[in-house]
């Protein structure tokens, strides 16, 4: 009997041993699988954290890609010649970006480049290229930018050509490189100041200083600005400008005037000026008419002078905000040069995408 029990126990143990071995092996295998799954979960969590951080950075950044293509075709008539030509009215492509830095601070950047449809359609020279920081203190930027004086030209810059405003374009700056700018808004009031620092020029300090103030509401636009520009041979150019613009329901009227004092090569001072007066009125929902009268006086009184009176009439067709066409006539009546008449047909395609 005892031998039978012993034999039975041995038989049970003999069967149980491989079962326990299998269970032990299964436990080891299960541990390996769990360890592998845990590693996979940890890797996945790390990827999700990285994606969350990237999404957070992207959510704090706004990127804008925009452009405007503006080919023209027209006839330029003078007393001595007629010229047909394809032109370009400042076509451009650009990008702008803003990034939230926290504590009310925002970093921003812009790059805008010419598209020269008139020649080879080259994508080239920079119109704007700068980086800046803005916050409670206002904004500061460094690079090639629009100058403060543009608060004088903006209200009268309504025509479809590269040389507008008509008189202002002959005398004043639009965008300058090596520029440091400061802007600060106080409600409807804007204070703006610029300085150009070009170490390649003769001056060790600033080469151009521009400051102005603008008041802008839905009812009226008023601005005044002054700039000093260093010329060669220690000569200066000083310009003071004012502008006023107002809408009377659909009728828009604006005028800009500048007084320009410039040292001449013979040591005298040339007293010049620019005057631009413009108006626009929508004839229908799709058609708009624009008119302009300009006077440019460089202070000269002989055949070297480029004094002129200019007149502009434009009819625009706006099918959509993205696409428009126009017909434009401009007469430039020079005091000491040939009268210039231009007839122009143009198209404009705009695009603007925000990401």
Dump pLDDT digits (tens) for 60-113: 899 999 999 999 999 999 888 899 999 999 999 999 999 999 999 999 999 999
Is the preceding peptide bond at 165 cis, omega within 30 degrees of 0? Answer: yes
Asked whether the predicted pLDDT for residue 272 surpasses 60, the reply is yes
| pLDDT computed for residue 254 by the predictor | 98
| pLDDT computed for residue 199 by the predictor | 75
Quick: pLDDT tens for 128-174. Answer: 999 999 999 999 999 999 999 999 999 999 999 888 999 999 999 99
| pLDDT computed for residue 119 by the predictor | 80
| pLDDT computed for residue 202 by the predictor | 59
* pTM, two decimal places: 0.81
Using pLDDT thresholds of 50, 70 and 90, give the confidence band for residue 30: confident
Q: What is the mean pLDDT of the chain?
A: 88
How much of the chain is helix, strand and coil, in % rounded to 5?
20, 55, 25
Which one, of 87, 89, 94, lies nearest residue 69 by Cα?
Answer: 89
| pLDDT computed for residue 7 by the predictor | 42
| Cα Rg of the chain, angstroms | 35
| pLDDT computed for residue 28 by the predictor | 60
| pLDDT computed for residue 256 by the predictor | 98
| pLDDT computed for residue 203 by the predictor | 61
Asked whether the predicted pLDDT for residue 50 surpasses 80, the reply is no
Which comes out higher in pLDDT, residue 286 or 319? 286
| pLDDT computed for residue 354 by the predictor | 94
CA distance 17 to 312: 106
The answer to whether 91 and 346 are in contact (CB under 8 A) is no
Which comes out higher in pLDDT, residue 38 or 306? 306
Alpha helices by DSSP H, listed for the chain, are 2-59, 150-153
Asked whether the predicted pLDDT for residue 18 surpasses 60, the reply is no
Q: In this predicted structure, which of 7-11, 176-180, 254-258 has the lowest mean pLDDT? A: 7-11
The answer to whether 207 and 201 are in contact (CB under 8 A) is yes
Q: In a 3-state reduction of DSSP, which class is residue 129?
A: strand
| pLDDT computed for residue 138 by the predictor | 98
Asked whether the predicted pLDDT for residue 184 surpasses 50, the reply is yes
Asked whether the predicted pLDDT for residue 10 surpasses 80, the reply is no
Q: In a 3-state reduction of DSSP, which class is residue 199?
A: coil
Asked whether the predicted pLDDT for residue 21 surpasses 60, the reply is no
Q: In this predicted structure, which of 36-45, 196-205, 249-258, 285-294 has the lowest mean pLDDT? A: 196-205
Strands (E) across 121-164 are located at 122-135, 138-146
Question: Please, which residues bridge with residue 108 across strands?
Answer: 98, 132
Q: In this predicted structure, which of 1-5, 156-160, 214-218 has the lowest mean pLDDT? A: 1-5
The answer to whether 237 and 226 are in contact (CB under 8 A) is no
Quick: pLDDT tens for 230-264. Answer: 888 788 999 999 999 999 999 999 999 999 999 88
Pairing mode of beta strands 287-297, 308-318: antiparallel
């Amino acid at each position: 009997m005892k031998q039978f029990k012993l034999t039975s126990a041995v038989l049970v143990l003999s069967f149980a041993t491989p079962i326990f071995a299998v269970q032990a092996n299964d436990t080891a295998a299960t541990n390996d699988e769990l360890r592998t799954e845990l590693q996979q979960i940890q890797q996945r969590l790390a990827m999700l954290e990285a994606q969350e951080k990237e999404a957070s950075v992207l959510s704090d950044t706004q990127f804008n890609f925009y452009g405007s293509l503006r080919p023209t075709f027209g006839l330029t008539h003078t007393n001595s010649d007629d010229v047909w030509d394809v032109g370009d009215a400042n076509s451009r492509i650009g990008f702008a970006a803003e990034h939230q830095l926290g504590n009310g601070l925002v970093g921003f950047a812009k790059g805008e480049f010419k598209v020269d449809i008139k020649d080879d359609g080259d994508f080239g020279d920079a119109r704007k290229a700068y980086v800046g920081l803005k916050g409670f203190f206002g904004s500061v930027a460094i690079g090639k930018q629009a100058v403060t004086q543009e608060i004088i030209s903006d209200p009268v810059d309504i025509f479809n050509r590269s040389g507008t405003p008509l008189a202002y374009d002959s005398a004043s700056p639009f965008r300058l490189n090596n520029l440091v700018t400061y802007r600060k808004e106080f409600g409807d009031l804007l204070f703006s100041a610029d300085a150009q620092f070009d170490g390649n020029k003769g001056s060790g300090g600033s080469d151009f200083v521009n400051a102005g103030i603008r008041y802008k509401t839905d009812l009226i636009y008023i601005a005044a600005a002054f700039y000093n520009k260093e010329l060669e041979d220690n000569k200066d150019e000083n310009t003071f400008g004012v502008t006023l613009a107002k809408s009377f329901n659909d009728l828009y009227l604006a005028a800009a005037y500048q007084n320009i004092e410039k040292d001449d090569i013979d040591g005298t001072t040339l007293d010049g000026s620019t005057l631009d007066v413009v108006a626009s009125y929508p004839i229908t929902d799709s058609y708009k008419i624009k008119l302009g009268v300009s006077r440019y006086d460089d202070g000269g009184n002989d055949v070297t002078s480029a004094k002129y009176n200019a007149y502009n009439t434009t009819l625009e067709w706006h099918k959509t905000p993205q696409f428009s066409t126009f017909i434009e006539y401009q007469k430039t009546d020079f005091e000491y040069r040939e009268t210039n008449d231009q007839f122009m047909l143009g198209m404009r395609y705009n695009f603007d995408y925000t990401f």
